[in-house]
Structure 1
Amino acid sequence: MAGLRVRPSESTGAAMEGVPSAADLASAREFLAREVPPTPAVSLPHLSSALGREIWMKLECLSPIRSFKHRGALCSVRALKASGASGVLTVSTGNHGQGVAYAGGRLGVPVTVVAPRPSEPRKLAALRALGAQVELRGENLSEAEEAAAQLAAARELVYLEDGEDPWLMAGASTVLLELTEQAAGLDTVLVQVGGGNLVAASLLAARAAGSPVRIVGVQSTAAPGATLSWQQGSIRPAESRTIAGGIATEKPGRLSLEVMKALLGSMVLVDDADLWRSVGTLLQTTGLAVEPSGAAGLAALERFGAEIEGERVGVLLTGGWIGEAALAQVAARLAATSVRRESV
């Protein structure tokens, strides 16, 4: 059921094992500052007025691969290359794989991406355009992951798993670090949750910076595995039926869940219909075509704003991969709504 979930954090996070340190986060920030420019953060007066608070948007949809995933991938692939890895294999339905493929191309490391057979053809084409070898295995993410582990072992490739790699997390932390510099004094930042890498990275970034900003996770009711696992304190897979590919996971990564258990106090579950509505809101107010997972933070505000604290709120637009047909449907609904209003 959609709504706000609250869970007391277990500790300050001091006992977490395997997570990137404050020094790792600083190293990732320094490296990425040389490799890619920061994405913009903008305040939106019309949206702020409608929601009754100051809203800042972090436009990760304008990155070189139209999502934030290049950040962690560059850091991780750099570390793997330094360790002597001859190639990297990962599993993805789109954005994570594109991040790894982009990093491999930039750093000269061959990349193989294993994807479920039902993956979107245009995202698979984007992976190939970035130089990745694409292998289709299984009918869902879990089956693809099983096949990927076997392929990596057989081909002697490093298996890079989202939510399980500290350098992926360190790189992703730079999203929040940039945003809090671009929009000082934020009270709350809403962060999408699929496998949990980004929300965990954001929590670690806030802690390392000594920032009082409140991090709130947002997930779809149609893919609630990370929320259920966070609530129960251990990994509890749940079927993923969401249309939002960027957060379509059945469970969180082990490393991500450790950080979430220790540092995350609030999660919001939204319905897929809420995601589509907010895709329309963003198209109407910003002119940006954002994928449903990228609109999750705004969806939480639009539906449950009264339950989310903060006068200055940050929202991450994490991805801009939305199909032409879906975008046309969103635009058609906006046009129909406008006609109805004008006829009243």
Structure 2
Amino acid sequence: MTAQRPDPRPASLPPAREDAFPGGLLADPLAARLAREEPLTWWNPAATDVAQGLAASGVDPAIVDDAAARLERFRPWIARTFPDTAAAGGLIESPLQAAPAWQEAAGVRSGRVLLKRDDILPVSGSVKARGGVHEVLQYAESLAVAHGLLPAPVTHPDPATHADPDSTPALPHDRPAADGAASSGPGRSGATNVGSGQSEGAGTGAGGTASRAVGYTAFSSAPFRALMAGHRVVVGSTGNLGLSIGIISAALGLQATVHMSTHAQQWKKDLLRSRGVEVVEHSTDYTRAVAAGRAAAEHDDAVHFVDDEHSLSLFAGYAVAGARVAAQLREQGITVDRDHPLVVHLPCGIGGAPGGVAYGLVRELGDAVRCAFVEPTQAPCMLLGLHTGLHDGISVAQLGLSTRTVADGLAVGRPSGFVGRAMQGLIAGCVTASDEQMTDQVKALYATEGMVVEPSAAAALESILRVAGDAARGDSFEGAGVRVPEGATHLAWLTGGGMLPADVRARYLH
């Protein structure tokens, strides 16, 4: 059943910016096009060089190295808990592969098209397994340290530089036989092997000193699970973040509650409940579901709220992907430099996942990479926030848009203010795609490459068509001097689809 569209008249803007739209928001030409649900390409006039953009972001790059080291420490436990990671020794990573059949059928005549296969990312089959898994692991680790079950992990300013194996010995019983056998190296951010096990006396928690060396597979033991059972993780989600948070929390023995908006698909709710996760359904949009989750966790010290709008832990977990993709590109002999840029097409909802991934990529590849965010025509919240400079101070509801879209993971009306402000100089531009365009690309990818992804993931393919077409015509992003050479490498980040039930897959394909 289709929800009634809200009043198309824009609500009042915050007073500080009211004078920016003296004739009302719809007097702005770009805003008017967005209100008409017009698929468009917008190149960011505020985009700057990477060095300046990183400095202005306010993000400490050390959080990315810290996240990479934490994911490395947990690899033995991940490998034992999730069989689909065992061959890679607990590394949660996806392939990077070419799409020659899709490229030919789509008429992209020059350059190269690559697919980042987060649709088959282990644990939860979406990009959200990057940030979501990391944040829950960070919370679990902090609980274990605070209660004396685990020594505090050794940290280093740059994990790539600590080469002293004697300071953090790996425990033989805690290292899977296949560890390190991943098909692609993790790059700088994942190079560390710190903390597979910690030597006795390596650190203490608030609850006392660890009496012996403890490996991270101990998170499956009775004392750890008893501790986790007394704590809860809460998150608001339209779908895939809730899946990743719920699955990893349940695996650790944590209680989990996922507040899901009206856009969330039933199969995702059913899957979570089958894992013992509490699902709270809301007949409201994503922003209000998040607010409900935040309110539920606010006054309980035993509850951790995963804040998709402002979380540095989520952001850092996503950003770890940057070094890993850089390593995959090197392994495949793909040149990425100023003359051969990489254009990455990132589906965007609230902005946490594409923001973190983009940060990691520009940190690794510098000015040779350009990141375009892709949004549904019904929910172009990041584009609107960047264009107006209001970020989370404006909603697509002020354009009369409902956020009703087949791309449930992107059905967000108000962007992350943290991501918008931090990344405003590093996002090359935004592309909007209609439901029809996204579902057409779901079918096209299946017909050419035999892959089935969610419409939200297929949005990245529509973005390639748009940007590659602009490049062929010699166009640059609207209002900006950013040019995309005709021979650029285009990377579509396929953000989800690996856990789709058969009936949903069939519905997308027909």
Shorter-chain TM-score category?
0.7 to 0.9
Aligned to 2:96: 41
Counterpart residue identity of residue 22, structure 1: P
Number of residue pairs the alignment of both structures matches: 330
1:261 alignment partner, one of 399, 408, 424? 424
What TM-score does the superposition give when structure 1 sets the normalisation length?
Answer: 0.88
Aligned to 2:459: 296
The two structures, once aligned, show a CA RMSD in angstroms of 2.3
- The more displaced of 60-69 and 84-93 is 84-93
1:12 alignment partner, one of 53, 66, 74? 53
2:242 partner SS: helix
1:269 partner SS: strand
1:265 partner SS: strand
1:67 partner SS: coil
Aligned to 2:18: none
Partners of 1:159 and 1:168 in 2: CA distance: 12
> Which aligned pairs between 1:38-187 and structure 2 lie closer than 5 A?
38-49=93-104, 50-52=107-109, 53-63=111-121, 64-84=123-143, 86-117=231-262, 119-153=264-298, 155-156=300-301, 157-183=303-329, 184-186=334-336, 187=342
Q: CA deviation at 1:325?
A: 5.1
2:68 partner SS: helix
Partners of 1:185 and 1:31 in 2: CA distance: 30
Partners of 2:507 and 2:438 in 1: CA distance: 14
2:41 partner SS: strand
Aligned to 1:195: 350
Which structure has greater helix proportion? 1
What TM-score does the superposition give when structure 2 sets the normalisation length?
Answer: 0.60
- Stretches of structure 1 lacking an aligned partner (at least 5 in a row): 333-344
Matched, 1:232 2:271: no
- CA-to-partner distance for each residue in 1:277-308, whole Å, 9 max, x for gaps? 11011111121111100111101123453125
Matched, 1:3 2:46: no
Structure number, greater radius of gyration = 2
For the 8 Å contact 2:263–2:408, the answer to whether it is kept is no
- CA-to-partner distance for each residue in 1:241-286, whole Å, 9 max, x for gaps? 2210111111111221122313212111111111011101111112
For the 8 Å contact 1:243–1:272, the answer to whether it is kept is yes
- CA-to-partner distance for each residue in 1:170-197, whole Å, 9 max, x for gaps? 1112334322322243421111111111
In structure 2, the CA distance between the partners of 1:329 and 1:144, relative to structure 1 (3 Å rule), is closer
For the 8 Å contact 2:315–2:356, the answer to whether it is kept is yes
In structure 2, the CA distance between the partners of 1:225 and 1:206, relative to structure 1 (3 Å rule), is same
* Percent identity of paired positions between Structure 1 and Structure 2: 23
Partners of 1:263 and 1:170 in 2: CA distance: 16
Partners of 2:506 and 2:232 in 1: CA distance: 39
In structure 2, the CA distance between the partners of 1:278 and 1:148, relative to structure 1 (3 Å rule), is same
- CA-to-partner distance for each residue in 1:46-66, whole Å, 9 max, x for gaps? 223331231110111112311
- Stretches of structure 2 lacking an aligned partner (at least 5 in a row): 1-37, 76-89, 144-227, 337-341, 398-402, 472-483
In structure 2, the CA distance between the partners of 1:81 and 1:329, relative to structure 1 (3 Å rule), is closer
Q: CA deviation at 1:154?
A: 5.1
1:262 partner SS: coil
For the 8 Å contact 2:56–2:422, the answer to whether it is kept is no
For the 8 Å contact 1:4–1:307, the answer to whether it is kept is no
Aligned to 2:195: none
Q: CA deviation at 1:202?
A: 2.3
Aligned to 1:339: none
Counterpart residue identity of residue 74, structure 1: V
Aligned to 1:328: 506
- CA-to-partner distance for each residue in 1:63-92, whole Å, 9 max, x for gaps? 231101111122211222344493211001
